Amino acid sequence: MDETIKKAIFKKVEEEPFAREMNIKLTDLDDGYSVVEMTLTPDMENIFGMTHGGAIFALVDEAFETAANSHGRMAVALNMNITYTAAPSPGARLRAEARELSLTGRTATYEIKVTDENDILIAVCQALVYRKKGQLPFLE
């Protein structure tokens, strides 16, 4: 992976207001691949005292975003299909790993898996991006 792109994406995630609010950290990045992590907090709970699906989705989306843009070309989401498979424990450390399944000039598809610290599958997502013509704007 191009080191300039890698450093720029790590920096942008650190500065991203939503990622900071959700305490999402980018821990690994390569071409078409990303790992992000987040520790669940009480303010991420739904009306049942369980982790809100939106919190898990936010983690998935960050992994998707970073993997899809790892080639240095701007990519935006077209579709995401998520399946929740287990409820994480309160305070769990979640890990989302995104892997590129296909890459064309205009689109790319990804599989994102969320697991907890015990390697229990929490969610799985298939996602599709549209790859724009220009490079990432923060590389200019």
pLDDT in tens, 33-48: 999 999 999 999 999 9
The yes-or-no verdict on residue 13 having pLDDT over 80 is yes
The CATH code for residues 3-139 is 3.10.129.10
| Token pair recorded at residue 132 | 């724009």
Q: Report the C-alpha gap between 96 and 35 in whole angstroms.
A: 6
**Where exactly are the structural domains of the chain?**
3-139
CA–CA distance, 75 with 65 (Å, rounded to integer): 8
With 90 as the cut, is the pLDDT of residue 140 above it? no
Q: What is the pTM (predicted TM-score) of this model?
A: 0.96
* Cα 82 to Cα 60: distance, rounded to the nearest angstrom: 9
Tens of pLDDT, residue by residue over 70-92, are 999 999 999 999 999 999 999 99
Q: What does the DSSP assignment read for 72-85? A: SEEEEEEEEEEEE-
- Res. 132: pLDDT tops 90: yes
> How far is C-alpha 26 from the geometric centre of its chain's CA atoms?
8
Residue 101 has a pLDDT of 98
Could you read off the pLDDT of 98-109 as tens digits, one per residue?
A: 999 999 999 999
Would you say 68 and 125 are in contact if contact means Cβ atoms under 8 Å apart? no
Average pLDDT, the chain: 97
Q: Residue 51 pLDDT more than 90?
A: yes
